[in-house]
Every structure is written in C-alpha cells, then in structure tokens.
Structure 1
Amino acid sequence: MTAHDQILQTLRTNTRATTLPVPWRSDRHFVDPAGRFTEALTKVKGYVHRARTMDDALAQVGALFTDLNTHSVVYNDESPLDEVAWTERFPEIQFRSPQQMPDRQAWRALCATADVGITSADAALAETGSLVVSSGPGKSRMVSLLPPVHIAIVPMERLTMDIFTWKEAHSRQFPANTVLISGPSKTADIEQTMSVGVHGPKKLVVVLMG
C-alpha cells in the first residue's frame, strides 16, 4: 500500500457520523410564564401590557399612539393583526403593510420614516423575555427594525418556557431571517457606554393578549 493509499484509508476510517445530534431538550417550568416574561423583558428596558381580548389590546395600542403622537404606522399582514381594520379603528393615522407596497425600496423608505412598527411574533420566551420573529410573505423584517418604536401583539398561547421548548414543538424549518428580539436595540462602545436605539427601535412594547 502506498503512502497515498494509507492516507485515504485513514481518512475513511476516521470519518465522523453524518447524523445530526438530537437537539437539547429543556425541562424548565415557570409557575407564572407571563409574569416571568414580563420580569425578564422589563429588566432589559422593554415594556409589557396585558390584554384579555383584541379590542382591549387595541385600546392599549391606541393609548400608546396618543402618547407617542403617532401619525404613521407600518404593520405586518399576519395573525392576529390581519383581523384588524386599522384605518377604520384609527382614521387619523396612516397605515401601510408590505402587501400594499410591493416596491421594496419604497417600502424600506416608508418603514424608515414611520413612527411605529407593529408585528406579532412566532413565540414569546418566558425565560429571557424574548420574541421569536420570522420574515416571510406579508411579514417584513423592516417593520420590527426601522421604526423607532416596535409594538408586538402576541396571543398568550404563543408564550412558551424557553427557546429549546419552543424549537422542540416546532420541527419545521424557519426562514434564515428568524431573529430573537430581547428589548430595544442596544449597543456599547469600547468604554462600555450603553446607547439605545442606534441600530434599531429605541422602544419595545409587547402586548400579551388572552
């Protein structure tokens, strides 16, 4: 056997199994997941409101619109937001969704100048106070990234213990642009001086509904 053959034989023998490892499973449990989510998000400068119904949630969102002197809003066409007649509910505010503006550059410019972006979330993680937000048809990442204020209306049934529990229950492949949002955008320089809202929204408000 030549040296070349020996090298190839060694490589074949030492080839690792191609089977992916089983995802780590969590047995974490919180007695009050909503309370834990609220505590965790509040610690990172986020805000949480509770609402029993969509009408209650919209009343709280309307109060936020007033406090923020809101004139323009971008929102995603996703459940449960697609159940709302936004312009009828808030006629004094301009609302736009990605399906209403297929021109990507125009949509980006609109999101960059909007006062508020409204989304839902695939999940709310009690452990860290985080939102799992994915993009796709009718769901633009720019809605949660470009406006200075991000409001998320999340049904209570999407509240789960942690990222591992959620992932185990959702085996389907998610878009590459699936992100975890934990509070407003934060960054720090080399001297550890914290700045909020430099690379994204400076305010995050989550309305847990149900």
Structure 2
Amino acid sequence: MTTTRDTMLARIRQNKPEPLPLPDVPTFVNEADDLSDRFEKALAFVGGQLVDLQATPASLVGFLQETFPDAQRIASSVPLPGLALVPVGPETDKQVLEQIDVAVLRGDFAVAENAAIWIPEASMMHRALPFITQYLVLVVDRDALVPNMHVAYERLDRSRLTYGTFIAGPSKTADIEQSLVIGAHGARSLTVVLPE
C-alpha cells in the first residue's frame, strides 16, 4: 500500500535538480603581506606577547624560569630538560589541572591575520589544559605561519581530526561596563614563542 508520504517523496526525487559543482573559493592571500609583522601586530592587539628565541640568548627553559620565577607546577607537551613537569593526560583529574601554573603547548601553525594558533588535541595533553592554566605559552615554528583563516582551514586534516581549537590571546571580556578585563575566565596571559 502506497501512502501519501511515499508518493510525495517519490515526486520530490523525480524533480530533484542536477547537482552542481561547488564554487572555487579564493584564499584572499596578498603576496605582498609581511606575515611575521602582521602576526606580531595582531597578537599584540589581542593581548598576547611574542618572544623570538633567536633574538635572545635564552633557551626556552631559561625564558620560562625568568618569566615565571614563581611557577611551581608546569605542564608541557614540549620537551623541557631540567624542569620538573606535572604529568598530564586525558584522564588527569580536574583538581590537578586547576593547579597548573604554566602550560607550554606546541601549536601546529599560526594565522597572521588574527594571531589564532591551531592546537590539535594531541598537543593539548588534556582538552581543558589551555583554558584552565594560569599562564599559557604556545610554541610555534617560525615557518608555520599562514596568512588567513581560509588557508588555515585548508591546512587542517579533517580526515584525522578528533578535536582541536584555535587560540588567540589570553582570556578576556568587556561585558561589564565595557571595561576590558584580561584573564577573566581562562589563562591570564598568552605568550607565543618562536623557538631557536
């Protein structure tokens, strides 16, 4: 017995238009852009700090010790020889996570137009770590800079992607009386480090 619903769906299938190819979307890349300069300015605008270890005599460990001298609990997805690190994994208890002073995580790439840095789940150690730590340090290779989000989304491997996030600047809000508050509900500062 054919129902009204079946008849209606059959008519819809018969009158379905031919599929059209998706349009080519340009990436809007300006070849004249100085990506490093644009990234540095965008990062400063969102409240982050850029540290180029090639321009300083300090190593990453030395920089961390100098910048965060009172940090007692450091978690890192980047090797930090000589530092006692808090082990963090996907099952780490929230009481341990909320006591992390500094989290040092590796970013896959950075976006020059808005200073967003892509952190895949494998580099986070725990999904909450970038947001619950007091101070966040992201290490990004200097040649891993892309001009804009169009290119950034092309770079993501969606077939292997489980979870990840773009992070741009420290936590901030201006909800109350339009007064900007840094570190309102997340990391109090974001430092992006370009390694040696």
Same fold at TM > 0.5: yes
Describe the superposition over 1:145-169 as per-residue Cα deviations: whole angstroms up to 9, x where unpaired.
1111101111112221122213324
Q: Which secondary structure state, in structure 2, belongs to the residue aligned with residue 189 of structure 1? A: coil
Among 59, 74, 79, the alignment partner of 2:62 is: 59
Gaps of at least 5 residues in structure 1 are none
Among 82, 92, 95, the alignment partner of 1:104 is: 92
Gaps of at least 5 residues in structure 2 are none
Among 49, 59, 69, the alignment partner of 1:47 is: 49
For residue 54 of structure 2, what is the amino acid of its counterpart? R
Q: Distance in 2 between matches of 1:52 and 1:14?
A: 63
Q: Distance in 2 between matches of 1:192 and 1:14?
A: 54
Q: Distance in 2 between matches of 1:20 and 1:38?
A: 38
Q: Which secondary structure state, in structure 2, belongs to the residue aligned with residue 74 of structure 1? A: strand
Deviation, 1:45, is 0.9
Structure 1 pair 103–179 and aligned structure 2 pair: CA distance change class (3 A): closer
Which residue number in structure 2 is paired with residue 73 of structure 1? 74
Q: Which secondary structure state, in structure 2, belongs to the residue aligned with residue 140 of structure 1? A: coil
Does structure 2 conserve the Cα–Cα contact (< 8 Å) formed by 1:41 and 1:182? Answer: yes
Deviation, 1:71, is 1.5
For residue 108 of structure 2, what is the amino acid of its counterpart? D
Among 125, 134, 145, the alignment partner of 2:131 is: 145
Instruction: Out of 183-192 and 9-18, give the one that drifted further.
Output: 9-18
Q: Which secondary structure state, in structure 2, belongs to the residue aligned with residue 157 of structure 1? A: coil
What is the number of residues matched between the two proteins?
193
> Does 2:128 align with 1:125?
no
Structure 1 pair 62–173 and aligned structure 2 pair: CA distance change class (3 A): farther
Q: Distance in 2 between matches of 1:146 and 1:197?
A: 11
Does structure 2 conserve the Cα–Cα contact (< 8 Å) formed by 1:33 and 1:159? Answer: yes
Structure 1 pair 168–103 and aligned structure 2 pair: CA distance change class (3 A): closer
Normalized per residue, which structure has more helix? Answer: 1
Which residue number in structure 2 is paired with residue 26 of structure 1? 27
Q: Distance in 2 between matches of 1:155 and 1:202?
A: 23
Structure 1 pair 208–97 and aligned structure 2 pair: CA distance change class (3 A): same
Q: Which secondary structure state, in structure 2, belongs to the residue aligned with residue 184 of structure 1? A: coil
Q: TM-score, normalised by structure 1?
A: 0.75
Structure 1 pair 162–70 and aligned structure 2 pair: CA distance change class (3 A): same
Describe the superposition over 1:26-65 as per-residue Cα deviations: whole angstroms up to 9, x where unpaired.
1413532111111001011111111229963333223212
Q: Distance in 2 between matches of 1:119 and 1:27?
A: 29
Q: Distance in 2 between matches of 1:16 and 1:150?
A: 51
Does structure 2 conserve the Cα–Cα contact (< 8 Å) formed by 1:98 and 1:138? Answer: no
Structure 1 pair 188–172 and aligned structure 2 pair: CA distance change class (3 A): same
For residue 104 of structure 1, what is the amino acid of its counterpart? T
Deviation, 1:75, is 1.6
Q: Distance in 2 between matches of 1:204 and 1:190?
A: 22
Does structure 1 conserve the Cα–Cα contact (< 8 Å) formed by 2:106 and 2:123? Answer: no
Q: TM-score, normalised by structure 2?
A: 0.80
Which residue number in structure 2 is paired with residue 9 of structure 1? 10
Q: Which secondary structure state, in structure 1, belongs to the residue aligned with residue 143 of structure 2? A: helix
